[in-house]
Chain A
Amino acid sequence: MKSYLKKGDIILCITLLSFSILGLVLPALSAKDGTLLTVSINGEPFAKVPLSKDTILEVKPDGSDSYNTIVITNGQASISHATCFNQLCVAQTPISSTNETIVCLPNKVILEIADDSDPFIDSISE
């Protein structure tokens, strides 16, 4: 099998690698520890829960039987159970800084972290 890498390939790989490394390093440097977990379903904000209290929140995205169980312990948020097929949201490591998210694409649930600089903090819903 003759190897016929062309110049374009090398430029491509170097560009992509540099871009990716930058993209990993810069957010890691600018991440701030958050204080609030915001849960949104299907793009709409659903709940804001402080990270300081240990909480278990069950979220039912639509009328059907699907749900995600959100757990806050030790100031970090994660999903412990979900009804989606691929369970990718459950496999994600817990999040606590403003750059991180946990997403359940099938159920359209997104967990994000906000910190004190966010202007709108109102109700905490269950």
Chain B
Amino acid sequence: MNTKKITLIGLLIAVALLATYLEYLLPSPIPAIPGIKLGLANVIILSLLYLFAGKTSLCVNILRILLASLLFTGFTGAIYALSGGLLSFTAIYLAKKSTAFSILGVSIIGATLHNIGQLSTSIILLQNTKLLYYLPVLTISALITGAIVGYLALYLVHHLQVFCKKFV
């Protein structure tokens, strides 16, 4: 861990936090389906997974989830976000390891499992299985947002790769 890496990661946590805040402020892009979010912060998480070791990405993910939810949505929000974030991170890590998917596929997997994680938490907390009817809509949105996030991460990794190699 040298200073350059610490600085870069600190900056990226801040960017991820800002991205989460922005999405929280903006109204839903599709009015018919409330609650759809772009998940822009995952661009950072995903890129970090491809640039550094898994530990770094996991740390940034947990930190920005805790910071963002405790700042903006409170404890219940933290539980939902953590369940989605941790499940999706596990899936992303395994998907990348399997080398069967490109970064786009990994991102889609992450988005889908993030939604499944949050949906499961709400089903458990509210003791209501009818909420499962939301799953198809959420999956389609995960397909789209996952593809967008994956494409952005592709760009980020491509441009940061050279810079990061210098101090990994």
Q: Select which of A23, A92, A99, A100 is within 8 A of B34 by beta carbon.
A: A92
User: B143 CB to closest chain A CB, in angstroms?
Assistant: 5
Per-residue interface assignment for chain A, residues 88 to 114, with 1 indicating a CB less than 8 Å from any chain B CB and 0 otherwise: 100111000001110101101010100
Say whether A21 faces chain B, with CB atoms less than 8 Å apart.
yes
Say whether A40 faces chain B, with CB atoms less than 8 Å apart.
yes
B34 A13 Cβ-Cβ under 8 A? no
Say whether B130 faces chain A, with CB atoms less than 8 Å apart.
yes
- In Å, the complex CA distance between A106 and B125 comes to 11
Chain A interface residue count: which class? Answer: 35 or more
For B131, list chain A residues within 8 Å (CB): 101, 103, 110
A13 B108 Cβ-Cβ under 8 A? yes
* From B136, B143, B155, B158, residue with most partner A Cβ within 10 Å: B136
* From A16, A17, A22, residue with most partner B Cβ within 10 Å: A16
- In Å, the complex CA distance between A106 and B136 comes to 22
Asked if A20 meets B139 with Cβ closer than 8 Å, knowing A1-B155, A9-B102, A42-B126, the reply is yes
Residues of B within 8 A of A (CB): 28, 31-32, 34-35, 73, 76, 80, 98, 100-102, 104-105, 108-109, 112, 122, 125-128, 130-131, 133, 135-137, 139-140, 142-143, 154-155, 158
Residues of A within 8 A of B (CB): 1, 4-9, 12-13, 16-17, 19-24, 27, 40, 42-43, 85-86, 88, 91-93, 99-101, 103, 105-106, 108, 110, 112
